[in-house]
Amino acid sequence: MKQSDTEAMQRCLNLAKEAVDAGDNPFGAVIVDAEGSIVAEGRNRENTQLDVTLHAEIDAIRQATSARGENCLRGLTLYTNGQPCLMCSVAIRRVGISRVVYGAPSGQPSRVSPHPLTDPDFGQSPPPSVESGLLAEESRKIQGRL
């Protein structure tokens, strides 16, 4: 992984801390382009917005598609401090994000097999490359606040 990967994940952790401070769950997400520039970022807002679908990844995807004026996010990387849930994984596949980097698993492991994030037969776009373990200890620590 590159230095820019670490910087993006650190931003996710900062967003997760902001979420906790606001009364939400400890998750942040950042979407970057090929040059490492931030396209969008989001944090969990389930409690403050009273919307159970407002996970950090969804928040970031909504901002990115709005900023780009399209639902295609191919060529972009999504960073998040927790492993994307099923709902977020489907959204990631629908918009065609090319790469996902997460810090540590979060919550209960999915019993869905194959998982929509990595299943080559799911959806209209190919599965993203998935990397885990970046700043894993820090990610587990912030998730411990859940």
Which are the catalytic amino acids? Answer: 57
CB atoms within 10 A of CB 125: 16
Question: Is there a contact between 75 and 54 (Cβ–Cβ < 8 Å)?
Answer: no
Q: Return the structure tokens found at 94.
A: 């629908």
Cα angle 85-118-61, degrees, rounded to a multiple of 5 = 50
